[in-house]
Amino acid sequence: MVNNILSYFNDPYFLKIFIGTFLLGFAAGAIGIFPTLRKQALIGDALSHASLPGVVIAFMIFNSRDILILLLGALVFSFISIGLIELIKKYSIIKYDASMALILSAFFGFGNVLLSMLKSSNQAGLSKFIFGEAATMLEKDVVMIIISSVVLLIISILFWNQIKAFIFDQKFYQSLGFNSNITRFLITFLTVLVVVISIRTIGVILMSALLIAPAISARQWSNKLSVNFILAGIFGAISAGIGTFISFNVNGIPTGPIIVIILSILLIVSLLFSPKKGILVTFINSKKQKSLIKKYHDLVHFYEFGEIEDNIALSFYSEGLLNIDNNTYFISDRGHTLINNIMRGKNLWD
């Protein structure tokens, strides 16, 4: 079976597409950390849906399925949608998430109307943008995706300190003399570009998952931005690579949905088993904490009321939680640490 899998990588066509989607998954997952931390995770959903009419209009104007032309149309409409979202936010009382929902619905509906106006023969190529289809990409499409992904990662690294300060501490960021509008536009540009180059592979409906799911998974494993950036990229790359391989081997399965399924599996594993925030780990630690609190209930009682039975006091004394002087028990430094953590709901020996 392993040899059978490895044989696919001897096929130059498959290898090119696999490398392209793998690198695209890394770039999309890594860039997705920025809007997720800014609490704008759904911006990818709005941009991807808004790009559909841009793809169709570009085809209508130039009568070409060239990926550069179609993605240029998607890029233009993505910027139009983000501009409308910002205008709605600035000049109305509508909240940001509501404006995104409004724009993505309106633009996606517009795109589907335009698609219905085309002949079925013309729809065939464009409809692949809805769910994504990596297997039909040409060599120049893959090269464009690889170059764009590398550029995205290089820009992120070059402006890393500015982006980090902007996301976590805007007052400190402004005190350094940086222009917040420029960095905000840079993050938006990175998000728009990664959405646009991904829709051919993932599809406009599911694109937001490639931005959000790796970022959420990475957040379960670390609170450090650089680690999140790398982990999210790895999760996105693994999902894109496995999804591409499956879509090549199983007829009728579009690339986007299977990539999202792999992403969902990685997300569930992260939510359950991550060592710090995992649901299972948290549950086990909570059980242990409650058991220990019950065990040391008498020690807390002694701390509050100064009353304790001799046999229980001897037990705590043997653990170093109590000291004795002139036949009088008093709480040791170790005991004070334990009691303070119990009262604050912290891990008992932090």
The CATH fold of domain 2-277: ABC transporter involved in vitamin B12 uptake, BtuC (1.10.3470)
177 backbone φψ class: left, alpha, beta (φ>0; ψ -120 to 50): left
**How far apart (Å, rounded) are the C-alpha atoms in residues 331 and 324?**
9
Helices (DSSP H) in 203-332: which residue ranges? 207-221, 225-249, 255-273, 279-295, 297-305, 310-318
**How far apart (Å, rounded) are the C-alpha atoms in residues 248 and 257?**
13
**pTM: predicted TM-score of the whole model, two decimal places:** 0.82
Q: Which of 152, 145, 13, 147 is nearest to 70 (CA)?
A: 145
pLDDT reported for residue 27:
93
| Number of residues that make up the chain | 350
pLDDT reported for residue 6:
64
Task: Give 330's strand partners.
Answer: 323
- Beta carbons of 114 and 57 less than 8 angstroms apart: yes
pLDDT reported for residue 9:
72
pLDDT reported for residue 124:
57
Q: For CATH 1.10.3470.10, list the domain ranges present in the chain.
A: 2-277
pLDDT reported for residue 348:
57
pLDDT along the chain (350 residues), means of 10: 63 83 92 89 82 89 84 90 86 82 88 81 67 75 87 92 86 76 87 87 83 92 92 94 85 82 93 86 80 80 80 82 81 84 64
Name the helix (H) or strand (E) containing 338: helix 333-344
pLDDT reported for residue 350:
52
pLDDT reported for residue 2:
54
The DSSP secondary-structure symbol of 328 reads E
